[in-house]
Amino acid sequence: MSAAERRRATPAESATARLGRLLTLVPWLLDHQGIPVEEAAATFGVTSAQMEADLSLLFVCGTPGHLPDDLIDADWEDGRIFLSNAESLARPWRFTLDEALTLMVGLRALSQVGGLAGAGTDRDGSLADGATGAGGGDAVERALAKLEAAAGAVASSESARVSVSIADDAAGAALATVSEALRSGRRVHLSYLVPSRDETTERDVDPMRLVSIESRWYLEGWCHRAEAVRLFRVDRIVAATVLDAAGAIPEQVVGRDLTAGLFVPDPTDLDVVIETGPDAAWVAEYYPTQSVTELEGGFRRLVLRTGDPGWVARLVWRLGGSARVVEPADLARSVRDGAREALAAYDALGQQA
């Protein structure tokens, strides 16, 4: 069950929300005679018990008169649903504004993804070959045009005021290469930048999926160097080459659950305490924190948990006085010594000139 289904299966559904579902359920059932109750429930994101309650309700509704022949006929005794005598409701009703909005905003966002644009999709419904540009690259645009026609002018113009930038454009070339490897099930060689350690690493990866999270594409795959599942930010892939070898993801290996976000603290990680000034209040919103304590005058004390305190030093240097390391002491010292060393180098440079 997906997170979405869990969310929708929560109780306290309003009478009108349920009506909206039933008005879609009826034409769907008419078009899927004999569908198992469980499958119908899964499609509509409800429990089987709820689906049976829905069918029981349909069973007592019908056209004016409400004699037995006027009522909707629903039969699900053997676990398969057969529905009839519901001609008035045979067509699905038009998209609500929210429904049209999700599809249109999603399509418009997809249409702006470079590297995937070719990827979009192919005529047969599979991902197209972005590299060769083979067919169907404009599937997103075509789908959008048809949807706008179906949803109407109001939905099109209202939904245009909501827009999502799914991913930065920096990922173009690498994204095309990686999606090609993913589609063809091949291994890919990456030169991958790790800014927190300031190094570029070389590794072979068997791609599992491409995920966009908070405007960035990530490749999840089995990393042969780490011998573990790793997430790679696609815009940090310096170079990517599709290899001849087929991807071989070990059995039992599963992708990370990313529904709670990207950041999962490791028990061996270190707590770093920093204080930020009013100019750097954004730090608490931008980076995952263990705790935030508001201090006087817009100052904040943050606890960051990290496996690599080096990036905290980089952060504090670039914040230029809007933050300081409180703990651990050796990190505070290396921030201080590093700044001194750099400033001395500038002085030396100034004397040379």
Partner 1 sequence: MAGAAPTPAAKTERLLNLVIALLWTRRPLTKAHIRDAVPQYQQTASIEAFDRMFERDKDELRDLGIPLVTEVIDPLFDDELGYRIDRREYALPPVDLAPDEVTALALAARAWSQASLAGAASMALNKLRAAGVEIDERSVVGIEPTIRTAEPAFDAVRAALVARQVVSFEYRKPDGSAAARTVQPWGLTSWRGRWYLTGFDLDRGAERVFRLGRVVGAVTTVGKPGAYAVPADHRPRVLVAGVADAGPPSESPAVIRLRGGAGQTLRRRAVSEVDDAGWTTVTLASTNLERLADEVAGFGPEALAISPPELVAGVKARLAGALAAAAGPS
Interacting positions 86-145 with partner 1 (CB under 8 A): 88-89, 91-107, 109-110, 113, 116, 119-128, 136, 139-140, 142-143
**In the complex, minimum distance from the CB of residue 291 to partner 1, in angstroms, rounded to a whole number:** 16
* Calpha distance 275→323 (Å, rounded): 5
CA-nearest of 219, 255, 258, 259 to 235 is 219
Backbone angles phi, psi at 268, to 5 degrees: -85, 0
Question: Alpha-carbon torsion 46, 47, 48, 51, what sign?
Answer: negative
Range 188-217, binding partner 1 (CB under 8 A): 193-195, 198-200, 207-216
3-state SS of 9-25 is: CCCCCCHHHHHHHHHHH
Range 35-74, binding partner 1 (CB under 8 A): 43-45, 53, 57-58, 60-66
User: Does 164 participate in binding partner 1 (rule CB under 8 A)?
Assistant: yes
User: Does 149 participate in binding partner 1 (rule CB under 8 A)?
Assistant: yes
Closer by beta carbon to partner 1, 75 or else 337? 337
* Calpha distance 290→306 (Å, rounded): 10
Closer by beta carbon to partner 1, 108 or else 268? 108
Range 12-41, binding partner 1 (CB under 8 A): 13-16, 18-25, 27-28, 31
**In the complex, minimum distance from the CB of residue 255 to partner 1, in angstroms, rounded to a whole number:** 10
Q: 171, 114 in Cβ contact below 8 A? A: yes
**In the complex, minimum distance from the CB of residue 275 to partner 1, in angstroms, rounded to a whole number:** 7
Range 213-272, binding partner 1 (CB under 8 A): 213-216, 238, 258-259
**In the complex, minimum distance from the CB of residue 267 to partner 1, in angstroms, rounded to a whole number:** 25
**In the complex, minimum distance from the CB of residue 330 to partner 1, in angstroms, rounded to a whole number:** 13
**In the complex, minimum distance from the CB of residue 224 to partner 1, in angstroms, rounded to a whole number:** 19
User: Does 322 participate in binding partner 1 (rule CB under 8 A)?
Assistant: yes
* Calpha distance 295→99 (Å, rounded): 44
Pairing of strands 73-75, 80-84: antiparallel
* Calpha distance 45→83 (Å, rounded): 20
